[in-house]
Structure 1
Amino acid sequence: MSTEEHGKAVKEQPVIGKKGLVAFARLITDSKPPRVILTIALLLTLVQTIAGLIVPLITKGLIDGLTQSALNRTVIIGLIGAFVLQAIASGISIYLLNYAGQRIVANLRSRLWRKVLALPVPYFDRNRSGDTMSRITNDTSLIMGLITENLVSLISNVIAIVGGIALLLYLDWVMTLIILAVVPVTALILMPVGRKMYRISRKQQDEMAELTSDLNQVISEIRLVKAYGTEEREAGEGERRIRRMFGFGLQEARILALIGPLSTFVLTAVLVIILGVGGVRVASGLLTAGDLVAFILLLFQVITPMAQFTTLYSRLQKVVGATERIQLILAHEEEPLHLQQLAAPGSEPITLKHVSFAYVPGEEVLHQVDLTLPARKVTAIVGPSGSGKSTIFSLLERFYVPAEGELLYGAEAVADYTLSSWRGKIGYVSQESPLMAGTIRDNITYGLNRVPSMDEVAQAAQMAYADHFIRQLPQGYETEVGERGIKLSGGQRQRIAIARALLRSPDILMLDEATSSLDSTSEHEVQKALANLMEGRTTIVIAHRLSTVVNADQIVVLDRGRVTGRGTHQELVASHEVYRELAMKQFVEADAGTAT
């Protein structure tokens, strides 16, 4: 979601309400909380709170004149027993609630991670990766903090307040009503503050997501940053976001600075009033000294939790905002990726029938494309940048759905296959040849649903002309390739990508100008590897250099999203003016370069 959409969401839902709390509760419920553990923790919290409420009553009896023997036998044992019971129950309940919180958030993160992997490619076109990362990490951390740090105090505070007020009414209902009269006044003051806190926390979370996106982008492309000397510019952009976060932090600090003294003032005022009124009632004989002391002790056990509710309320504001952001991901439509496989013929022609497509409505990239890619033949797609070559690849991989028309595999619609079974038929080697951080063996076997033997891996590497250079490395197949394969050369990455495709043994092979960025030596090795890979497979090649596809069984000329010609190299040179001019220009330049 964009920053503008985030801002709109803040305006649409500025306060914590029933909807936000219901969404939070549903999110927790759907994360499969350990109900038995939570129940035990709740019971222990109840024991802890009751033990705490007993202490003032025992103290009341002590002050009201118990005998020395009774003091030794009853009061001391009772006090020690209450303190020990309270400590044990508190320790165990805190551990159990922390366990439950960690478990809930682990389940939530797992659910989010699987959801993100199942989202369609257009989602990632519209959303920055850092925003999505922030939801999985920062937003879930806020939820975990609320559960592990505040849930135990919430439960114990509610019990302490209810039980404490009941005992206060029992001891002296007049002073209790004085205390209760302060509660609605405090709530009226805190509600506007809570609304302000919600808006600030949402903006802070949005800014954190933007900062995470910027950091992720800059760090992943640090070589580009350094090569073009943009360190100062990127530093300035990062500092601008950090200053904005600092500003939001100061706004939050000002609110907390208001809430803290206000809570202290209310607590002090209530205490002074109770001491004054209580002193008068003790002097008049309506209360005993023990009653007054017990009342004051219980008062602290009621007011302290009430004051903590202000912190809990502000924390809940942030969590409701985080919940909304997480729900936006969870509610997004997934790719229909299923694990069951459909029976599919080994190799059939692929047909694009009246296919049109636009990334942005009204701006078509492909216009009524009719094209047949024959089985076990090589089809090259050529054309200027922006003509729609990569879009055809994306449609074939079903990253996008055509706006009009359909794709056929033989006589069957490609859309009738499950995504997993269809993509399992495709091997893709791109110009960049992306590798994952890990070993060479990890990258060659990446994406397989089985664990291949080392002999199979080595055989695929040999066919990709990669085995020789791999065995020369100190750790061989266990060599770490680094982030995005940065420790290997471009030609080495390409051959590992080809070995990966060979091990997958696809029916359909898609090559996105796999040799365009290589030197002549690496290109020669990769071309030999590609020849092994293409043998007996339906192959589609995006070509920028015609010299790499002159022997293709079919060459398709694409221009501005339309097929303007098709045939062999010789046929197109003879019949297609644009292709002929392009071929003459490229081959003349190549001859001139060779002569030089």
Structure 2
Amino acid sequence: MSKVNSNLTYFGLMKYVKPYRLVFAIAIIGAAIDAAMKGLFAGLLSPILREGFSNDNSLWVKYIPLIIIGIFLLRSIGNFLAAYGFTWVGRKIINDLRQQVFHQYLRMPQKFYDEHSAGGLISRMTFDIEQMANGVSKNFVIIIREALSIVFFLGVMFYFSWQLAMVAFIVFPLVAFIIRMINKRFRRIGHGIQDSIADITQTVEEVVKGHKIVKIFKGQDAESKQFAANIKNNRQLQVKIVASQEVLSSVVLMLVAVALSIIMYMAARSGIDAFDFMAFLSAMLALMPTVKNLTSVMSTIQTTMAAADSVMHVLAQKPEADLGTVTLKAEQVQVEFVDVDFSYSDESHALKQINLTVEAGQSVAFVGASGGGKSTLVNLVPRFYDVSAGQILINGENIQKFTLESLRDHVSMVSQEVVLFNDTVRNNIAYGAQAECSDEAIIQAAEQANAMEFINQLDHGLDTELGDNGTRLSGGQRQRIAIARAILKDAPLLILDEATSALDTESEKHIQDALEHLMQNRTTLVIAHRLSTIENVDKVVVLNQGQVVQVGTHQELMAVPGIYAQLQQSQMLSMDGSHHGDE
């Protein structure tokens, strides 16, 4: 994954604060109050000790408890405002980022999903953004409060002895230099942690989804080794970042200790008032853990920035190109491919010089060996990919002229990879724009898809929850739900990508009848390996290595030697062999 410039990432984070700047300002005021009270308490030690203990000033003795209580009360109020305010702003920012990333996922082109693993994309949404939450909530509190505390403590030290304070002040450029150098390591390790979490998520997702294959093919050992390697890598990176953090803290403390020893020596020789030196020393000693806290949080900040890099990388991606200005409105659709070429990235051409016309209401089947370009060609119509050369016309107009929304409104699709949502049967059929359809329309679509019979046998009928991707249903039942969804949409262009591949013979017969009825007066593009299901289509297009090699009806292509006749003969022999095997 390409990395975003760190400065852009930082300012990219800061711009999200703008809508909540009032609360953010209140939080900063709270942090300033907290820091100021810490500095004030250190500064007041000199008069408290002098007047309250040495001079036995009754007025000071009387008000010392009230002063201490007042200081710590104000500290508590400031600390609450800072902690609550930064956390509130931080979580708001994280919610905004999650919304933006999710919205970005919805708008990304197919190529984006081809290039990124599902586990990595999920990790961006969950782990990486949660890491950013620490950076813009907890760490904001620490950074602002401790930075202001350093300012106030240094103010106290300069007030009582600027000569001694200069010794301490010299240390800070050295500390800043060391932090700058080690921050590069923190950022590099942070990126490694993001990637390791993505790998862990991907491995778990694959095992959970493919648990049957893992068990049948005895992949448990291999998956366990892979997972162990992933978590080992994550553990090593986490230990490295802690080790680097502790080295940084130790070096900083040693620098402060050297400065403190020099100050003690100079103070003993300078003749500074003992009470003033106690106030100076308390500010100096309070400065040490403050500096340590600030340096310790730098590793977390760099982890946050590394997470922000990956999230900003997603947000920086260009969404699907939608330059169309014309709203497609058509009751029937004619599709024409004119000199169409297509390639995935810089690879060889997946499609070459495709010239083909599908008349309105015509059903066309695309057949050929795997990798021949059938699915690729059909995926160009709803613009999941854009052509590399040539053009695709709908009703004589280039599809690039149409808005993506209106173009896809005219397309229904049933894929071999059935997607069902963790929702009810009703909501899976009446999905998206069809959510407001009546129960009568939903039931009619389910009946046409031969699905109503098994739906009625479910515990709650249409209101039955299907579980993750419809795991409670058989393959054929899941496919019929998907077909019912396409029927309900009632679009003029229908894409059937191996739509009957998951059905048993009996279900396939019922579904073929329903699909043939549905395909009437609709432009239908069918992709099928089982050639017995496409004998009645109007036209068969045979693709081989990305080129159209045969076009005609089933009868015409069977009458001449060629790839189609060979495929038919091969499948018939396979079916005969299976029948003999059954005997």
TM-score (norm 1): 0.91
Q: Is the 8 A contact 2:147 2:294 kept in 1?
A: no
1:45/1:582 Cα in 2 relative to 1: closer, same or farther (>3 Å)? closer
Code of the residue aligned with 2:549 in structure 1: it is T
Matched, 1:292 2:277: yes
Code of the residue aligned with 2:496 in structure 1: it is L
Q: Indicate which of 159, 162, 180 corresponds to 2:169.
A: 180
Structure-2 residue corresponding to 1:506: 491
Q: Which moved more, 1:254-263 or 1:424-433?
A: 254-263
SS at match of 2:137: helix
Structure-1 residue corresponding to 2:534: 549
For residues 553 and 216 of structure 1, the distance between their equivalents in structure 2, rounded to whole angstroms, comes to 42
For residues 425 and 75 of structure 1, the distance between their equivalents in structure 2, rounded to whole angstroms, comes to 80
Q: Indicate which of 432, 451, 460 corresponds to 2:417.
A: 432
Instruction: Show CA shifts across 1:180-216 (max 9, x none).
Output: 1222333444443333223222222222222222222
For residues 246 and 302 of structure 1, the distance between their equivalents in structure 2, rounded to whole angstroms, comes to 33
Code of the residue aligned with 2:189 in structure 1: it is I
Code of the residue aligned with 1:224 in structure 2: it is I
Structure-1 residue corresponding to 2:28: 42
For residues 185 and 32 of structure 1, the distance between their equivalents in structure 2, rounded to whole angstroms, comes to 33
1:480/1:314 Cα in 2 relative to 1: closer, same or farther (>3 Å)? same
| Unmatched runs of 5 consecutive residues or more in structure 2 | none
Structure-2 residue corresponding to 1:483: 468
Percent of matched pairs sharing the same residue: 30
1:425/1:318 Cα in 2 relative to 1: closer, same or farther (>3 Å)? same
1:260/1:522 Cα in 2 relative to 1: closer, same or farther (>3 Å)? same
Q: Indicate which of 206, 215, 235 corresponds to 1:246.
A: 235
Superposed, 1:330-369 pairs within 5 Å as 330-336=315-321, 342-369=327-354
Matched, 1:219 2:192: no
Give the CA deviation at 1:417. 1.0
1:367/1:52 Cα in 2 relative to 1: closer, same or farther (>3 Å)? same
For residues 296 and 532 of structure 1, the distance between their equivalents in structure 2, rounded to whole angstroms, comes to 90
Q: Indicate which of 527, 531, 544 corresponds to 2:516.
A: 531
Code of the residue aligned with 1:426 in structure 2: it is V
SS at match of 1:239: helix
SS at match of 1:517: coil
1:276/1:391 Cα in 2 relative to 1: closer, same or farther (>3 Å)? same
TM-score (norm 2): 0.93
Give the CA deviation at 1:588. 5.5
For residues 126 and 113 of structure 1, the distance between their equivalents in structure 2, rounded to whole angstroms, comes to 17
Structure-2 residue corresponding to 1:111: 100
For residues 578 and 156 of structure 2, the distance between their equivalents in structure 1, rounded to whole angstroms, comes to 96
Instruction: Show CA shifts across 1:218-260 (max 9, x none).
Output: 2222221112110100110111122222222232232233233
Structure-1 residue corresponding to 2:38: 52
Code of the residue aligned with 1:50 in structure 2: it is A
1:547/1:582 Cα in 2 relative to 1: closer, same or farther (>3 Å)? same
Code of the residue aligned with 1:481 in structure 2: it is L
Give the CA deviation at 1:22. 4.2
SS at match of 1:34: helix
Code of the residue aligned with 2:237 in structure 1: it is F
For residues 153 and 160 of structure 2, the distance between their equivalents in structure 1, rounded to whole angstroms, comes to 10
1:289/1:452 Cα in 2 relative to 1: closer, same or farther (>3 Å)? same
For residues 328 and 314 of structure 1, the distance between their equivalents in structure 2, rounded to whole angstroms, comes to 21
Give the CA deviation at 1:533. 2.5
Structure-2 residue corresponding to 1:561: 546
SS at match of 1:427: strand
Q: Is the 8 A contact 1:341 1:420 kept in 2?
A: no
Give the CA deviation at 1:415. 1.3
1:588/1:200 Cα in 2 relative to 1: closer, same or farther (>3 Å)? closer
SS at match of 1:452: coil
Instruction: Show CA shifts across 1:132-191 (max 9, x none).
Output: 222222221222101211112211222222222222111111211121122233344444
SS at match of 1:25: helix
For residues 485 and 402 of structure 1, the distance between their equivalents in structure 2, rounded to whole angstroms, comes to 34
For residues 337 and 221 of structure 1, the distance between their equivalents in structure 2, rounded to whole angstroms, comes to 36
Structure-2 residue corresponding to 1:85: 74
SS at match of 1:564: strand
1:311/1:339 Cα in 2 relative to 1: closer, same or farther (>3 Å)? farther
1:567/1:358 Cα in 2 relative to 1: closer, same or farther (>3 Å)? same
Matched, 1:277 2:266: yes
Q: Which moved more, 1:433-442 or 1:226-235?
A: 433-442
Superposed, 1:201-240 pairs within 5 Å as 201-240=190-229
Give the CA deviation at 1:98. 0.4
Instruction: Show CA shifts across 1:109-130 (max 9, x none).
Output: 1111111221110111111122
For residues 314 and 156 of structure 2, the distance between their equivalents in structure 1, rounded to whole angstroms, comes to 47
Code of the residue aligned with 2:153 in structure 1: it is G
Structure-2 residue corresponding to 1:16: none
SS at match of 1:448: helix
Structure-1 residue corresponding to 2:249: 260
Instruction: Show CA shifts across 1:84-109 (max 9, x none).
Output: 11111211221111000000111011
Q: Is the 8 A contact 2:323 2:403 kept in 1?
A: yes
For residues 161 and 581 of structure 1, the distance between their equivalents in structure 2, rounded to whole angstroms, comes to 82
Matched, 1:131 2:120: yes
Superposed, 1:373-452 pairs within 5 Å as 373-448=358-433, 450-452=435-437
| Unmatched runs of 5 consecutive residues or more in structure 1 | 14-18
Q: Indicate which of 150, 155, 161 corresponds to 2:139.
A: 150
